[in-house]
Structure 1
Amino acid sequence: MAAPPQPRPLLVSTPSGGSTSASGSSTPVPAASRNNPISLRIYKAIGTSFDDRGSREALEIASGFYASSKAKGKAKAEDGGDEAAAPIRRTLRGQSAATARRNLKRDVEARLAGGSQHFLEAFGEVDKKLDVLREHMLEMQSRCDQVQAELDQANSGTKYLLERADGLRSQRSSAQLRTSLVTLFLARFTLTQGEERALSSREFDLGPETFKALDHVEAIRSDCRALLGGDEAKMQAGLDIMASTGVQMEAGYTKIHRWLEFQFRQMTRDAQLEVSGVMREAVRRLGQRPGMLKEVLHVLTSTRQASVLSAFLDALTRGGPKGLPRPIEIHAHEPTRYVGDMLAWVHQATATEHELLESLFGVGNRARMVGAERSVLERTEAEKMVAEALDRDLEGLGRPLKLRIEQTLKSQEGVITTYRIVNLLQFYLVTMRKTIGPDALLSKALQELYEHADAAFFETLEAQGRSLLRFLHPPDANLSPPLALRDASQVLREIIAVYDTSLVDDAEREGDFAKLLNAAVDPAVEMCERMADLRKQSSPSSGAWDRDVFLVNCLEYLQHTLEIYPFTAPRVSTLQEQVQTHIESMTFEHHGKLLEQCGLAPVMKAIRTRPADTPLSRLPGATPKELTAALTQFSSFLTNHDPLTSPRLALLSNPRLAEGIHRTALRRIATAYAEVADHVLDKNEGYEFAETLLRRGRDEVEVALGVAEL
């Protein structure tokens, strides 16, 4: 379909006489047409543009006035057949459009008038309906006034009731507030029925509910202090509450007391020694009632004392379940094992009872070194109660233990066995003191047993020492330590070995063992000295020498027995001094013998006894002839002597000691020869040709004697 031709732009007149297109562009108007109205209108119509929406709608409405018959029927159908609403003008054939345009204004106005008439009719209908509505409104207003009057009448009639209701409502609020306050007061200062049953009913077993109720009672009594500080009414309420809660609290503690008494009476066997949390809490609670706690602890200690004593007697005579372990008294023929088993059983029972009581009182193990003693000053109140209860639990063991150990000690004759029992008692005494304290009855019983055993041991040891001095005889020909000394040393060695395993501190070992060492060593030394004196009396010629040799051998034997232990050092030092005294005596005598053998004895005697104004060469024993003979004998001695040992020292049991004595004597011989040489070379001594008399020099003599310094 071909596009419609685009309309030409219309020109409109402007005040200046020109023309402007509808689109805004100006079209010049010829000057000849500017004063012609028709031309201006034509130019204006031509220059008008109908592209905007409003112009188009206006043209469409205008064209509807002059439509064809079909279009008229359609328009009439759309308008509902109302000609007034849409007045359409007929255009006769041959009638010009100018005539239609002239009637356009009138047609538009006629149509507007028809529309207005239509609106008036519609508004008339609306007005009629508004009148009906107004009548209904008046009727409703009348009814509302009637209802309001009735309401006013009812309001005036119920005003008293409303006021009464307001009063009751305020009273109800006050009552509710008081009720809530009373409820809170009762909840805070009274117990529930369940809590009362938990405190006083025997059917209600002791448990957390009882402790919770007791805490509630204590909280109530604590809060009552605020009431006791107020006015008289509050004080009276506080006093009443304190009185009622006091009864409830006493009922609770009485229930705890009875329950603990019953439970403690059941603790007769080891299988029933488990401590529950309820029992531990009950003991802690009863700690606030010292009198009640003392009563229940008395029940516990009485029960446990009888149970422990019965168990100890069963262990002694019957043994364990089904005979295992075997009865302790089966080993009564072995004193050390018998006493050790009894003490070990007591120690184990002590540990069991201690653990039970610590668990019962909730006493934890504080940081403490193993084996460290428990300080009495550092103990808490609970630990003191544990110690007291433990002391009473073990009180019954003292008497049967003492009877059996004392009987065992009386039947012993051997010093080693007795000392082993002493050491066992000392070990367990120290252990029990650290466990239950030195003031416990069992510790005191062990202390008495230890003192009794120690006295019995020293009595046996002294009897053994007296037996050493009873039958004395001269030593053997080889001057070796006698058999009695060797036996006594063996006993002493075993005693020292046992003591070395004791619990005595290293700093106290020397002083603690000194008494025992003196009691064991002094009789042996005295025996050796008496035997040496018997030897000296039997052979006066060599008795002094043999006495020193014999004593040195005996003392050396004792010294070797003791020197391997550090705590015997003081006694070893004393023995060494005695040995050194005899060695010096032997060295002096051996030197004298060697001096006679080498021929220098007469010369040295002359030197020692010479007058101050007499030359040595004129004295007897030191004349030139005698000096020459002595030096000749000395040269022969240097050739034949043994620089390492001497037959006279062969009986010493210590070869090194014999070698030292011989070497010291030879060194003194060399010194004597040097002194003789000095006097011979001295011109004042009167020796002629002195150099020829001395056949050997000093250094040569030292080398020959084997004492030269390297």
Structure 2
Amino acid sequence: MAATYHSERTASPIVSGHTPLSSSATAGAVPRNNALQNRVTSVLSASYADLEIRDALTSLDTRGLQNIPATRRNLRLDVQEELIQCNGEIVQDFGMVARQLERVGAAIESLNFSCAEMRKHIGAARRETGPMLDEAKTILADRQQVDKKQRLLNAFTTHFVVSDADLAILASTAEPVNDDFFRVMTRVKKIHDDSQVLLGSENQRLGLEILEQSSRQLNAAFQKLYRWVQREFKNLDLENPQISAAIRRALRILAERPALFQNCLDFFAEARETIVSNNFYAALTGAPVDPDHPVLGKAIELSAHDPLRYISDMLAWAHSATVSEREALEVLFISEGDELAKGIQAGIESEPWSRPNDDDVLAPFNGREALSQLVDRDLTGVFRQLKQRTEQVIQSHELAALAYKISNLVTFYGPIFGNLVGDQSSLLEVLRSLSETALRSFRSIMRDNVLNLHTGLAMSPTDLAAPEFLLEALNTLTVLMKSYDTSVVTADRNQRIDGFQPVLQEALDPFLAGCENITKRLQTPNNHIFALNCLLKTRETLHQYSFADRSEELRPRIDEHECELVTVMHRWFLRESGLATLVDHVATVEDLSFSYKDPKQLASIAQQLDVFLPAATEDARTYLVQLEDKTLVRRIIEHAVESFCEDFEEVESLISQADEARGLQANGEVEEDLWLRDVFPRTGDEIRVLLS
């Protein structure tokens, strides 16, 4: 709008057609034009981006004014008129505000007066009610203390005081041991533990009284529980798979008193020992202890005619009873996990005087070990009877094999019972004692048998076979090896060998020594044949079981006698064939020429050789017919034949060399009947064929 107004003002003289003013007028109008130019310059130089200018322009636009000269001339006047009207309205409004403030001031003065009057009245009332308020505060504080003490008393009574009804449940023998008893006992134990907190207060008397009272109540409860457990143990049926949960809980709680718990275990062990012993006696005799529970199966004593089965049945019954006893006691003592061990540990800590020595480090309670000890005590009576009857069987039968079988049977059951009751059990000591008793009886019987060999040692066998005492010993040894093989559970070969060596020393070595004594009295070759028969029979028997095999030990002795027999058969071949003279006295060609100048002297030897050769092998077998191992006989003859053929080849070589020497000396003019080869025509190959 200002630009339009400026353009209209500058263009108006030209539009109206007037000429420019005179020079005087122009000179007078120069300042006005300068002012106008300054105004225009100021307007043109202004920034229309200014907020104030923009607001002014916006206000003019809102008025809806037209850009005409009249409007532009009256614009200032109109604006000033509006401004004067606005100021007048503001003055009127402020007048109304002033009147309102006068009324507010009057109200405030009235309120100040009223407040001053109220302060006077309040001060007077405060002076009058001050003592009563102080007394009321004191009374309210006292009431809070009383309420606090009342709540404390109620809490103390609720926590630390046991009612007469609960005390009757806890200590009276007329009341049963049930869940209420355990509930009250648990509460009294909590009171006993919490009373120790009161000992840390300034006044310890209350804590001491509650601690003493709760201790008496707990002692009475434990005594009642102790007597109840003993009564239950008298009528406890371990055969019942559902043992009362109350007994298990009672034992867990009673474990907190180690002395009472141990007494209960002792009482239980004695009762169970009696019961199990009576059951074992009933199983032995067939007479039931309780008519309502008859004995199943036949009485064990009916098999007393078979000692091994008799002892085996007793051990089997004892093993079955041990397994049953352990399973039942596991339900009774171990089914609660380690709660029993925790109870015993807590009891030992609460009763330090129960330890053997103050300096001893107390090992933690081992439930499995205690269970094994209890089972051990329960079966003591059974094993006492078992030991007596087994020893009677051992003493009444003078049979070495039976004694050794009993020892192996008892030893076989040792690890089985060890897995049930532990390696330190007294039951294992009983079994070890029985095993040693049986072994002592075995050794004694074997030594008696050796002492009785004098008659057999004095007689030389006619058939050179193994003597009767050795055969009996080997038969007994076979039984012992079979028993040992079925009873020893270890898989270590060296242990099995070492375990059986003492048996061989008792059951075999003395008899082999007796055979050696007989061998020394026999003539060759009977002594070697007899020794080989004994050694081969022994090796054959021992070879059945690896732990008793002595092949490596017997082989040098067998080889020695075999070599001796080969030598004997070699001499027999030489003697029977007539070559012994040649082999023994002719070593060189000169010996042959000197001893047999006439070739006809060899004719008798050649004739004897021809007679011997066709039946030589059969005659040799007949010569060794008493040697029982025919394979060994054939091997001995083969070695002897080989040696004989070698000797014959040497003789044959000497004869050929002698003929060659004779031919050289006579320049080939030797008579035909003078050739040694003619009277001794056999060759080494022919000998080997005939003796093959």
TM-score interval, smaller chain: 0.5 to 0.7
Give the aligned partner of residue 513 of structure 1: 500
For residues 262 and 354 of structure 1, the distance between their equivalents in structure 2, rounded to whole angstroms, comes to 21
TM alignment of 1:316-355, pairs within 5 A = 316=284, 317-318=286-287, 321=293, 323-355=295-327
Contact 1:587 1:665 in 2 (8 A): yes
Write the letter of the residue equivalent to 1:310: N
For residues 167 and 615 of structure 2, the distance between their equivalents in structure 1, rounded to whole angstroms, comes to 117
Following superposition, the deviation at residue 298 of structure 1 comes to 1.4
1:267 pairs with one of 215, 236, 241: 236
Give the aligned partner of residue 128 of structure 2: 157
Unaligned runs of 5+ in 2: 19-59, 66-77, 339-361, 666-674
1:590 pairs with one of 565, 569, 580: 569
TM alignment of 1:174-193, pairs within 5 A = 186=156, 190=160
Following superposition, the deviation at residue 428 of structure 1 comes to 2.0
For residues 689 and 560 of structure 2, the distance between their equivalents in structure 1, rounded to whole angstroms, comes to 29
Following superposition, the deviation at residue 574 of structure 1 comes to 4.9
TM alignment of 1:215-226, pairs within 5 A = 216-217=190-191, 219-220=193-194, 223=197, 226=200
1:560 is the counterpart of 2:514:
no
Following superposition, the deviation at residue 602 of structure 1 comes to 1.0
Judged with a 3 Å threshold, the aligned counterparts in structure 2 of structure 1 residues 147 and 489 are, in CA distance, closer, same or farther, namely: same
After superposition, give the CA deviation of every residue in 1:105-140 in whole Å (9 maximum; x if it has no partner): 9xx9xxx9xxx9xx99xx9xxx9x999999999999
For residues 195 and 213 of structure 1, the distance between their equivalents in structure 2, rounded to whole angstroms, comes to 14
Give the aligned partner of residue 428 of structure 1: 413
Contact 1:265 1:303 in 2 (8 A): yes
Give the aligned partner of residue 213 of structure 1: 187
Q: Which has the higher helix share?
A: 2
For residues 690 and 495 of structure 1, the distance between their equivalents in structure 2, rounded to whole angstroms, comes to 76
Contact 2:171 2:217 in 1 (8 A): no
Give the aligned partner of residue 40 of structure 2: none
TM alignment of 1:220-619, pairs within 5 A = 220=194, 223=197, 226=200, 233-234=202-203, 239-240=208-209, 242-271=211-240, 274=243, 276=245, 279-280=247-248, 282-316=250-284, 317-318=286-287, 321=293, 323-358=295-330, 360-362=332-334, 381-412=366-397, 415-433=400-418, 435-437=420-422, 440-461=425-446, 475=461, 480-481=465-466, 486=471, 488-503=473-488, 505=490, 506-522=493-509, 525=512, 544-570=524-550, 572-607=551-586, 616-617=591-592
Contact 1:268 1:304 in 2 (8 A): no
For residues 211 and 605 of structure 1, the distance between their equivalents in structure 2, rounded to whole angstroms, comes to 113
Judged with a 3 Å threshold, the aligned counterparts in structure 2 of structure 1 residues 359 and 503 are, in CA distance, closer, same or farther, namely: farther
Following superposition, the deviation at residue 271 of structure 1 comes to 1.7
Judged with a 3 Å threshold, the aligned counterparts in structure 2 of structure 1 residues 705 and 286 are, in CA distance, closer, same or farther, namely: farther
For residues 400 and 623 of structure 1, the distance between their equivalents in structure 2, rounded to whole angstroms, comes to 95
Judged with a 3 Å threshold, the aligned counterparts in structure 2 of structure 1 residues 13 and 388 are, in CA distance, closer, same or farther, namely: closer
For residues 193 and 435 of structure 2, the distance between their equivalents in structure 1, rounded to whole angstroms, comes to 55
Following superposition, the deviation at residue 217 of structure 1 comes to 4.7
1:664 pairs with one of 629, 639, 648: 639
For residues 681 and 233 of structure 2, the distance between their equivalents in structure 1, rounded to whole angstroms, comes to 103
After superposition, give the CA deviation of every residue in 1:154-213 in whole Å (9 maximum; x if it has no partner): 3332222222233344455566666777778x4999466599759944446367636743
Judged with a 3 Å threshold, the aligned counterparts in structure 2 of structure 1 residues 52 and 452 are, in CA distance, closer, same or farther, namely: closer
Contact 2:535 2:558 in 1 (8 A): yes
* Secondary structure, counterpart of 2:487 in structure 1: coil
Q: What RMSD, in angstroms, separates the aligned Cα atoms of the two structures?
A: 5.7
Write the letter of the residue equivalent to 1:442: L
For residues 187 and 526 of structure 2, the distance between their equivalents in structure 1, rounded to whole angstroms, comes to 96
For residues 210 and 689 of structure 1, the distance between their equivalents in structure 2, rounded to whole angstroms, comes to 136
For residues 4 and 268 of structure 2, the distance between their equivalents in structure 1, rounded to whole angstroms, comes to 133
Following superposition, the deviation at residue 703 of structure 1 comes to 4.8
After superposition, give the CA deviation of every residue in 1:358-395 in whole Å (9 maximum; x if it has no partner): 55554989xxxxxxxxxxx9996545543443332122
Give the aligned partner of residue 76 of structure 1: none
TM-score (norm 1): 0.65
Following superposition, the deviation at residue 436 of structure 1 comes to 3.1
Following superposition, the deviation at residue 566 of structure 1 comes to 1.6
* Secondary structure, counterpart of 2:240 in structure 1: helix
After superposition, give the CA deviation of every residue in 1:231-275 in whole Å (9 maximum; x if it has no partner): xx3555654554444434434543443343333333354227837
Judged with a 3 Å threshold, the aligned counterparts in structure 2 of structure 1 residues 503 and 220 are, in CA distance, closer, same or farther, namely: farther
How many correspondences in the alignment?
596
TM alignment of 1:80-229, pairs within 5 A = 150-172=121-143, 186=156, 190=160, 197=167, 200-202=170-172, 203=175, 205=178, 209=183, 212-213=186-187, 216-217=190-191, 219-220=193-194, 223=197, 226=200
Judged with a 3 Å threshold, the aligned counterparts in structure 2 of structure 1 residues 465 and 274 are, in CA distance, closer, same or farther, namely: farther
For residues 621 and 208 of structure 1, the distance between their equivalents in structure 2, rounded to whole angstroms, comes to 124
For residues 158 and 550 of structure 1, the distance between their equivalents in structure 2, rounded to whole angstroms, comes to 142
After superposition, give the CA deviation of every residue in 1:475-503 in whole Å (9 maximum; x if it has no partner): 576x5556775555334322211111122
Following superposition, the deviation at residue 555 of structure 1 comes to 3.2
Unaligned runs of 5+ in 1: 1-8, 33-50, 57-104, 228-232, 366-376, 537-542
Give the aligned partner of residue 33 of structure 2: none
Write the letter of the residue equivalent to 1:338: Y
Indicate the structure whose relative CO is greater, using CA pairs within 8 Å and at least 6 residues apart.
2
Write the letter of the residue equivalent to 1:157: E
For residues 130 and 517 of structure 1, the distance between their equivalents in structure 2, rounded to whole angstroms, comes to 139
Contact 2:226 2:254 in 1 (8 A): yes
For residues 243 and 604 of structure 1, the distance between their equivalents in structure 2, rounded to whole angstroms, comes to 118
For residues 554 and 332 of structure 2, the distance between their equivalents in structure 1, rounded to whole angstroms, comes to 58
After superposition, give the CA deviation of every residue in 1:588-618 in whole Å (9 maximum; x if it has no partner): 221111011222201233259x9xxx95247
After superposition, give the CA deviation of every residue in 1:80-109 in whole Å (9 maximum; x if it has no partner): xxxxxxxxxxxxxxxxxxxxxxxxx9xx9x
Following superposition, the deviation at residue 440 of structure 1 comes to 3.9
For residues 225 and 576 of structure 1, the distance between their equivalents in structure 2, rounded to whole angstroms, comes to 89
Contact 2:196 2:207 in 1 (8 A): no
Identity of aligned residues (%): 23
After superposition, give the CA deviation of every residue in 1:386-414 in whole Å (9 maximum; x if it has no partner): 34433321221133223333343455465
Contact 1:465 1:524 in 2 (8 A): yes
Judged with a 3 Å threshold, the aligned counterparts in structure 2 of structure 1 residues 408 and 211 are, in CA distance, closer, same or farther, namely: same
For residues 510 and 251 of structure 2, the distance between their equivalents in structure 1, rounded to whole angstroms, comes to 61
For residues 619 and 569 of structure 1, the distance between their equivalents in structure 2, rounded to whole angstroms, comes to 57
For residues 442 and 305 of structure 1, the distance between their equivalents in structure 2, rounded to whole angstroms, comes to 13
Write the letter of the residue equivalent to 1:595: L
After superposition, give the CA deviation of every residue in 1:332-377 in whole Å (9 maximum; x if it has no partner): 3333222212111112222333344455554989xxxxxxxxxxx9
Contact 2:192 2:211 in 1 (8 A): no
Contact 2:391 2:434 in 1 (8 A): yes
Contact 1:670 1:701 in 2 (8 A): no
Judged with a 3 Å threshold, the aligned counterparts in structure 2 of structure 1 residues 235 and 26 are, in CA distance, closer, same or farther, namely: farther
Following superposition, the deviation at residue 656 of structure 1 comes to 1.4
TM-score (norm 2): 0.67
